[in-house]
Structure 1
């Protein structure tokens, strides 16, 4: 049998080719692995947390805070504040008018009697317009500054004064809280006299002469 010996150089060349194939294959694998592995930027982006909308305890979205603005661009808190300011202004105006009315005192007999009747009713003091008017006309003719300077009270130094001719000790004892503490004040005089008459006669309506 004939034997052929390949030249040394041929064997070396073949071995190098095999090694080259192996190296190429390994390089391809490395290249595939490098391609499959994402970059740091891609990894960071893929793992970045999504924006989370706040929710309330019942799972519903939390309402926007006041002042965040409405869909049409208007500030809802400004609108609400404007309404509140208007309401407070109206309330203050009403309170001011009521206070002014309360401080406006009547300046005639009819007004004095009617105001006194309102106070008497609130204090549980009996009496009618007719009873008050009748006794006032007899005692003072409707003059709140009338003074009796001749009867026994005047002689004793405590003259009867005012619309219903009340002496100071009687006024002090039966003065009605909330009225002036001045004997000749029309409303204070009427209510004190009516209070006194209620205790002694049952009502000013039952008085038809000096009392």
Structure 2
């Protein structure tokens, strides 16, 4: 144990023996360790020099191998792409060929159907032609209407022409004015009235002057003012224009 006196520490006898023992033991251990170390010390290691050329060759070989692998991969991918493109092209060629074959087949079928239809139609036509038919009787042409060469015939013919041309008049109205103007003489001529004085005498059944006859002449009739039918038609055409109809004329016109 430590005891203190007057501010310092005093070692007991027991402490002194312990310290001496510890010192001796430490010296012995140091001596033993030095002796042991001197006997088992390993031989020095000699450093190995690096072969740079071999190292460079190894790296070059690795790079070449990597390049070969990349090239092989690229070739594999290119071959796969080529096979895919070829497959698509083959598929398109096959599809086009099938479409053409289908179109050809359809065209042939349509041509065959048309040929059969034409054949059937021709057969029917031939059958129809071979059938004995009664000849078609054409209607006989209507015989031209006959008119008497007299006052009644002249008026009737004139009225038929006027009806076709849309000129109004009646048989009685025409006959009444004829009897007053010429008493039915188609060659009658007035050589004493004002028209005669002026050099254009009235002529024919209805006593019409030449300028009026020419102005109101109806196509299809004679240009001879003394022709009874032409004279009646032209005079009635004039009367229709001026009075509405020859039926409205009851005096000189």
Displacement of 1:64 after TM fit? 7.7
Q: 2:208 aligns with which of 156, 166, 169?
A: 166
The question of whether the paired residues in 2 share the 8 Å contact of 1:56 and 1:62 is answered with no
Q: Provide the residue aligned with 1:181 in structure 2.
A: 223
Is residue 244 of structure 2 the alignment partner of residue 202 of structure 1?
Answer: yes
Q: 2:161 aligns with which of 119, 138, 142?
A: 119
The question of whether the paired residues in 2 share the 8 Å contact of 1:161 and 1:183 is answered with yes
Task: Please state which structure has a larger fraction of its residues in helix.
Answer: 2
Displacement of 1:67 after TM fit? 9.9
Q: Provide the residue aligned with 1:62 in structure 2.
A: 123
Displacement of 1:156 after TM fit? 2.5
CA distance in 1: counterparts of 2:178 and 2:153, whole angstroms: 13
CA distance in 2: counterparts of 1:204 and 1:148, whole angstroms: 20
The question of whether the paired residues in 1 share the 8 Å contact of 2:168 and 2:240 is answered with yes
Structure 1: 5+ residue stretches without partners: 1-54, 69-75
CA distance in 1: counterparts of 2:124 and 2:164, whole angstroms: 51
User: What secondary structure is seen at the aligned counterpart in 1 of 2:200?
Assistant: coil
Aligned runs of 1:1-211 on 2, under 5 Å? 56-57=116-117, 62-63=123-124, 65=126, 76=130, 79-80=132-133, 83-84=135-136, 87-88=137-138, 91=139, 94-95=140-141, 97-98=142-143, 101-102=144-145, 104-211=146-253
Describe the shift of the 1:125–1:67 C-alpha distance in structure 2 as closer, same or farther (beyond 3 A): closer
CA distance in 2: counterparts of 1:165 and 1:175, whole angstroms: 14
Q: RCO (CA 8 Å, sep 6+): is it higher in 1 or 2?
A: 1
Structure of higher CA gyration radius? 2
Runs of 4+ more than 4 Å apart: 58-61
CA distance in 1: counterparts of 2:116 and 2:148, whole angstroms: 61
Q: Number of residues paired by the alignment?
A: 138
Structure 2: 5+ residue stretches without partners: 1-114
Q: TM-score of the superposition, structure 1-length normalised? A: 0.56
CA distance in 2: counterparts of 1:64 and 1:196, whole angstroms: 60
Describe the shift of the 1:203–1:67 C-alpha distance in structure 2 as closer, same or farther (beyond 3 A): closer
Displacement of 1:189 after TM fit? 0.6
